[in-house]
């Protein structure tokens, strides 16, 4: 006889199998394939989730939660401990590829997923600013939105240039991603790019003279 704990464990196993299937093969993957990866019958997918759409929604929520946990753990770890954990885990690769699939596929689900990523990143960024780990922005949401689009878009371009990349090799994908991006990202975030403020000051002067400056630049600005 099945118990409530069996159902809970079976639901989690199916959800995690679906996350891997969607990441590896895309969101057209069949419920039968998902059930096979989880080692259960296809009927259990509908028993636990009712529909593929409901399963996808729970997978999205789980990936976002795990992504947030990964980011939080990374920012809370001291640099020596963080880099001692490299190469990155297979689980991190699954999250990365799932996010890529969601955004690259577009449509309502992809757009909603990206907006959830922005919201999560904004909360994370504001906390990091409050703790003194990240410098504040004149428009925190605009900065976060730019960084999310830049990071996801950069991965999409990278994979488009290497169509032979095996997306189901989650460990390999995340290792290559870090190898290509870790140094330039940390260098740019830590040391900046321009040697002085000329371009920023000129832009601030320009928008101050317009009738409709961006929301983050209206009114009081951050001190220099």
Q: For domain 60-193, give its CATH number from 3.30.70.141, 3.40.50.300, 1.20.1260.10, 1.10.357.10.
A: 1.10.357.10
For the chain, domain boundaries: 60-193
Write the DSSP assignment of 121-159 as a string of letters.
HHHHHHHHHHTTSS---SSHHHHHHHHHHHHHHHHHHHH
pTM of the model: 0.73
Q: What pLDDT is attached to residue 109?
A: 75
Instruction: Determine the Cα–Cα distance for residues 205 and 201; give it in Å rounded to an integer.
Output: 6
pLDDT band at 27; cut points 50, 70, 90: very high
Contact 34, 21 (CB under 8 A): yes
pLDDT of 190 strictly over 60: yes
When the pLDDT of each residue in the chain is averaged and rounded to a whole number, the result is 83
């Amino acid at each position: 006889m099945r118990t409530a704990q069996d159902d809970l464990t079976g639901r989690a196993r199916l959800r995690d199998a679906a996350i891997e299937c969607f990441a590896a093969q895309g969101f057209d993957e069949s419920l039968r394939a998902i059930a096979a990866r989880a080692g259960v019958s296809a009927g259990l997918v509908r028993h636990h989730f009712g529909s593929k759409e409901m399963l996808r929604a729970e997978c999205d929520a789980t990936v976002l939660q795990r992504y947030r946990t990964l980011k939080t753990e990374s920012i809370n770890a001291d640099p020596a401990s963080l880099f001692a954990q490299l190469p990155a885990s297979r689980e991190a690769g699954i999250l990365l590829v799932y996010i890529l699939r969601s955004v690259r596929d577009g449509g309502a689900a992809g757009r909603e997923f990206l907006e959830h990523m922005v919201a999560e990143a904004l909360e994370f960024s504001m906390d990091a600013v409050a703790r003194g780990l990240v410098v504040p922005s004149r428009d925190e949401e605009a900065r976060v939105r730019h960084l999310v689009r830049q990071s996801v878009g950069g991965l999409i371009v990278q994979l488009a240039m290497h169509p032979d990349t095996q997306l189901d090799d989650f460990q390999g994908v995340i290792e290559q991603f870090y190898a290509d991006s870790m140094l330039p990202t940390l260098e740019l975030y830590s040391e900046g790019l321009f040697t002085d403020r000329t371009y920023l000051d000129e832009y601030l002067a320009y928008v101050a003279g317009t009738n409709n400056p961006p929301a983050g630049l209206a009114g009081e600005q951050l001190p220099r």
